[in-house]
Structure 1
Amino acid sequence: MNVVDLRFLAGVFVTLFVIVDPPGTVPIFLSLTRTMTSKQRSRAAMVAVGVAILIIASFAVFGRFILAYMHISLPALQFSGGLLLLLISLQLLMGKEGELAQSSGVNVALVPLGTPLLGGPGAIVAMMLFVDQSHGELPRVNALIIALVVMAVVLYVFMRFADVIAKILGDGGVTLVTRISGVLLAAISVQMLFDSVHSFLQTWGVIAAS
């Protein structure tokens, strides 16, 4: 028996990567931390990643209980999540990912970096759906944990070395990667919408369960 479901691991990581969009956070992170020293920027990156992972993991563990308490079905959550991700993908495609206001007196590592930029609704919904797809199987649960840890490391590396990455890619390179992420995210969101409609039809007996 495999300890880790590698295919499931790859699917979770790719989806989270596209949703969170580490390359797209580079220009935002640089603009929000432009007055910080290198040490302060490193700390801000660590705090932001920690907050984001904590939020995503919390919803991954307790999300089902919240849904049950509020009488929300998973297909309904999936459909709303698909719409939400579609809106996010359109923002990426139209170059509006940087429209985040910086409030005075607020630690930017917490808001808007930790949430909603990194630990936003899109990543939360996606993670909850993956937890549901894992069916409590150990290889898939391990894959979820590993994917989340690897995602945290990738996020920290991108933000910690944001200035270096921005110089290597250039403005055009960062924009290109962000637009490609937008296209992929749009495809994922549409698939989520199709899957939710399929689940609704199965629930009502319109089509047979596969």
Structure 2
Amino acid sequence: MFTEFATAALVTMLVTLDPPGLAPIFLSLTRGMSAAERRQVAVRASIIAFCIIGFFGVAGDVVLKALGVSLPAFRIAGGLLLFWIAFEMVFERRTERKQQTADTAITKDHIRNVAAFPLATPLMAGPGALTATILLAGRAHGDAVLLITLAVICGLVILCCLAVFLAASSISKLLGITGNVVLTRLLGVILAALAVQFVIDGVKAAMAG
């Protein structure tokens, strides 16, 4: 039981968070920041994501039911938020401060904002990860050992994400300015498709329910 649960939890969380897949998106969102500022964003986002995932693992199902919010609705909302970010990435519809990050100092508020949204949520602690956490916690049936195991596994996966983020700065230097611009546009399209998929899955689940 323990081995089966731990294996299922590890595979599920790795697939839903997809640490390697977050690396290029992290680069796009932190464009114009120094290596130290990127580290701040990476660490802060990882801590926030772990706290959100941990909270939903413990009380997510109860909270959503108390608020009258279904998991499909949560997935649709996350998809719409992601689509807006993707739109900005593709068409460079950023605020003046974001458009001129190469020439303007990055403020602490900007670092905190990017770390919390969209990096920590909905990209890391997104609808898929939160739904998976709630379902895995339900499979534990209140077993303290299994719940602790789930928390440890979530922490390990978040650490994998952090390691990928910290290595992303080196990748950014290799790409250069032109490479980063092209990558931002390309990833914006991919992120838009991912967002639409979130919405489609949410609508299907809502209709099935």
**1: CA distance, partners of 2:122 / 2:112:** 14
User: 1:32-71, aligned counterparts within 5 Å?
Assistant: 41-42=35-36, 44-63=37-56, 64=60, 65-71=62-68
Does residue 1:153 correspond to 2:177, yes or no? no
1:69-80 correspondence runs (5 A): 69-80=66-77
- Amino acid across the alignment from 1:22: F
Q: Which residue of 1 aligns with 2:120?
A: 119
TM-score by length of 2: 0.69
**Distance of aligned partners of 1:180 and 1:19 in 2 relative to their CA distance in 1, 3 Å threshold:** same
Percent of counterpart pairs with the same letter? 19
8 Å CA contact 1:79, 1:192 repeated in 2: yes
Give the partner amino acid of 2:12. Answer: F
CA displacement, residues 38-90 of structure 1 (integer Å, 9 cap, x when unaligned): xxx53x44433222112111211223144233221111101111111111112
Whether 1:131 and 2:133 are equivalent positions in the alignment is: yes
Give me the whole-angstrom Cα distance separating, in 1, the residues matched to 2:163 and 2:80.
28
Residue type matched to 2:115 in 1? G
Judged with a 3 Å threshold, the aligned counterparts in structure 2 of structure 1 residues 115 and 10 are, in CA distance, closer, same or farther, namely: closer
Task: Supply the distance in 1 between the matched residues of 2:69 and 2:197 (Cα, whole angstroms).
Answer: 20
- Could you state the TM-score of these two structures normalised by the residue count of structure 1? 0.69
Q: 1:112 to 1:166 in 2, by over 3 A?
A: same
Structure 1 unaligned blocks of 5 or more: 31-40, 204-210
Q: Is the 8 A contact 1:47 1:109 kept in 2?
A: no
Q: Give me the whole-angstrom Cα distance separating, in 2, the residues matched to 1:79 and 1:19.
A: 24
Greater helix proportion: 2
**Aligned residues: CA RMSD:** 3.6
- Return closer, same or farther for 1:94/1:62 CA change in 2, 3 Å cut-off: same
Distance 2:24 2:131 in 1: 16
Checking the alignment, whether the CA contact within 8 Å between 2:24 and 2:183 is kept in structure 1 is: no
